[in-house]
Amino acid sequence: MKRIAVLTSGGDAPGMNAAIRSVVRVGIAEGLEVYGVEQGYAGLIAGRFVPMTVRSVGGIIGLGGTVLGSARCPEFRTEEGRRKAIEQMQAHGIDGLVVIGGGGSQTGSLLLHRMGFPVAGVASTIDNDLYGFDLTLGVDTALNTALESLDRIRSTASSHHRAFLVEVMGRDCGYLALMTALAGGAEVVVVPEVDVDPDAVARELREAYERGKSHAIVVVAEGARYNAAAMAEHFRERRDEVGFELRMTVLGHVQRGGTPTAFDRLLGTRAGAMAVKLLVEGRHGHIAGWLEGKVQALPLEEVVGKKRPLEPDLLSLAEVLAQ
């Protein structure tokens, strides 16, 4: 193996740039030429390869987002699109590819692997929904961002004796919502994995009000059947059932941006380095991520297409601590 490429795909996540930097510098240290692919799989199909040097990744470790860019690419979902991507890599002399991204991105990695092209992945998504790993790149920063927002909202909620519905990201995974609720001391958490009746939320809020609480916070995952907007609509004509005056805040994409934490910088650095090693050592079709207190590699076959379960014990703990 003489030349590899690296791309970022799917939603951006804090720490992606640290992973890019690591792939480039470790790759060069291994005697490889390293190319960056602009705009993810779309750039791969279009042949948007940029030669990378140790200097071209200088100063990016603390930047949010991804310097290589990312884009959706419906064409890559087709076999014809993937063949175009492989043809472009072969034409540019690329012998292996590192893909930094989440579930959809790693599905693409697995498909390339099955077509015989050497691929290694870096588990990166703020949703933390990749099966097999404890934490994915970007989660720690996103969680801290959501938590800081929750703390600020709590100040206003307490001052005005209100309840707030605070929606966090996570698609169909409630991890980010649950951890934000636990760390932020929320009264209620609503996640996609457990179908919650709005009337049950109303009872929790009413009980908090009757216990003399000056405010209440409900953390809602965006993928829940009743997200923040649906929950607010349900309560619009039912304020008496809640007790508190109700407000809604959707944190949205603010959770995906910003300066990565030390943990995400280190995770991106270590996982990027492992991805290069996987290609050099011929362990193709694997993905690097955080598992059992260290960076480990799992076969893509074991990760892709499976859903990471939410820990029921933590849901129970959140209920107990909300009293």
Q: Is 181 exposed, middle or buried (0-12, 13-18, 19+ CB in 10 A)?
A: buried
Task: Say if residue 197 carries a ligand binding annotation.
Answer: no
127 catalytic? Reply is yes
Looking up tokens 């209620």, which residue turns up?
188
Task: Say if residue 105 carries a ligand binding annotation.
Answer: no
Q: Which residues are bridge partners to 6 per DSSP?
A: 36, 98
**For residue 285, what are the contacts with CB-CB under 8 A and spacing of at least 6?**
109, 110, 113, 119, 120, 299, 300, 301
Task: Say if residue 119 carries a ligand binding annotation.
Answer: no
Task: Say if residue 211 carries a ligand binding annotation.
Answer: yes
Phi, psi of 122 (to 5 degrees): -125, 120
**For residue 75, what are the contacts with CB-CB under 8 A and spacing of at least 6?**
42, 45, 81, 84
Among the options 12, 127, 129, 264, which is catalytic?
127
User: Is 11:20 a contact under the CB 8 Å cutoff?
Assistant: no
Task: Say if residue 3 carries a ligand binding annotation.
Answer: no
Task: Say if residue 222 carries a ligand binding annotation.
Answer: yes
Task: Say if residue 265 carries a ligand binding annotation.
Answer: no
User: Is 47:240 a contact under the CB 8 Å cutoff?
Assistant: no
Task: Say if residue 72 carries a ligand binding annotation.
Answer: yes
Task: Say if residue 282 carries a ligand binding annotation.
Answer: no
Binding residues for substrate: 125-127, 162, 169-171, 222, 247, 253-256
- Residue numbers in the known binding site are 11, 21-25, 72-73, 125-127, 154, 162, 169-171, 185-187, 211, 213-215, 222, 247, 253-256
Known binding residues for ATP are: 11, 72-73
| Catalytic residue annotation | 127
